[in-house]
Chains A and B, each alone.
Chain A
Amino acid sequence: MGKITLKHVNKSFGDVAVIPDINLTIENGEFVVFVGPSGCGKSTLLRLIAGLEDVSAGQIEIDGTDATDLPPAKRGLAMVFQSYALYPHMSVRKNIAFPLKMAGMTEAEQEKKVQNAARILNLTSYLDRRPGQLSGGQRQRVAIGRAIVREPSAFLFDEPLSNLDAALRVSMRQEITELHQTLKTTMIYVTHDQVEAMTMADKIVVLNAGNIEQVGSPLDLYHHPANVFVAGFIGSPKMNLIAGAEAAKHGATTIGVRPEHIDIAAGGPWSGTVGLSEHLGSDTFLKVEVDGIGTLNVRAGGEVNLRHGDRTSLAPQAGRIHRFGADGKALA
Chain B
Amino acid sequence: MAKTEKILYSLTKIDKGRRTVVPTVVMLILTILYLVAVLSVPLHMPQKLIWLTAYPIFLSELCGIGYLKIFVRSLWILPILIFIGIFNPFIDTAPAFTIGNVTVNRGWVSLFSILLRGIIAFQSVLILVSTSGIIETFNSLRKIGCPAVLVTQLQLTYRYIAVIIEESLTIKRACAARGFGKRSYPLKLWSRLIGQLLVKSTHRATKIHLAMLARGFNGVLPTGNAVYWTSTSWLWLFGGIVFIAILRFTDFTSLLLHLTGNFNR
Same complex for A and B? Answer no
User: A-contacting residues of B (Cβ < 8 Å)?
Assistant: none
